[in-house]
Amino acid sequence: MNNEELSSGRIPRQGAGVLPEPTLRRLPWYLAYLSTLRRQKVEYVSTTRIADELKVAPSQIAKDLSFLGIKGKTRIGYSVEDLEQSLGQFLGFTQRHNAVMLGVGSLGAALIADSGLQRYGLNIVAGIDIDAERIGTKINAVEVYAPDCLPELARAMNISIAVLAVPVDSAQEVANHAISCGIPAIWNFTPTRIVAPAEIVVSNTSIYSHLAVMYNRLGNIPSR
């Protein structure tokens, strides 16, 4: 891999150490709840109230928030607006992260169309597909290109995340191609495991394995 290409795709962030993954999964819950409170014009919130709403231990919440260097005030708690803003910044949701969608079949096209991702800082700037009929078309103003355009796109558009939504048979190969283009993170939506060098960030959103877990649990609801 070319280091220069890799660094061109890197997002500089400051102040955030590598956090435990469970903390990183809980912080967005707090953020979502704070946004709700803000819309309800609530000004201050205690860990106890967050704990009651989200069923997380108050001590865990205080510990999670301490990673942000934020402490609540005795008796008053946290300022809803300040904490919401700090959390959003800390989680990277308020920055723009340019991404490319690899595979614009039904799931890929659907993810491009989901405006929620944009609100959480993911800016899908291009799609890639091997299907000649898709190349040159646009999905919600996002243009679809041929795979051989990826090296140039990754550089020119400062792409830091490749969202993987290709058929499973070509998933690893397509991920390898993205990595060779200097894209430092793969967000894997395919049902297979993606193997990548240690310096590459791989995040798996295994929609289908969540289904498997749910089906299994459903099959085991005791009869009444």
Q: What string of H, E and C letters represents the secondary structure of the chain?
A: CCHHHHHHCCCCCCCCCCCCHHHHHHHHHHHHHHHHHHHCCCCEECHHHHHHHHCCCHHHHHHHHHCCCCCCECCCEEEHHHHHHHHHHHCCCCCCEEEEEECCCHHHHHHHHCHHHHHCCEEEEEEECCCCCCCCCEECCEEEECHHHHHHHHHHCCCCEEEECCCHHHHHHHHHHHHHCCCCEEEECCCCCCCCCCCCEEEECCHHHHHHHHHHHHCCCCCC
Minimum CB distance to a second copy, residue 15 (Å): 9
Q: Report, in Å, the least distance between residue 153 CB and a second copy.
A: 18
Nearer to a second copy by C-beta: 76 or 110? 110
**Closest distance to a second copy from the beta carbon of 69 (Å):** 15
Q: Which is nearer to a second copy, 133 or 148 (CB)?
A: 133
Q: Which is nearer to a second copy, 17 or 69 (CB)?
A: 17
Q: How far is the CB of 74 from a second copy (least distance, A)?
A: 26
Of the pair 35, 46, the CB lying nearest a second copy is at 35
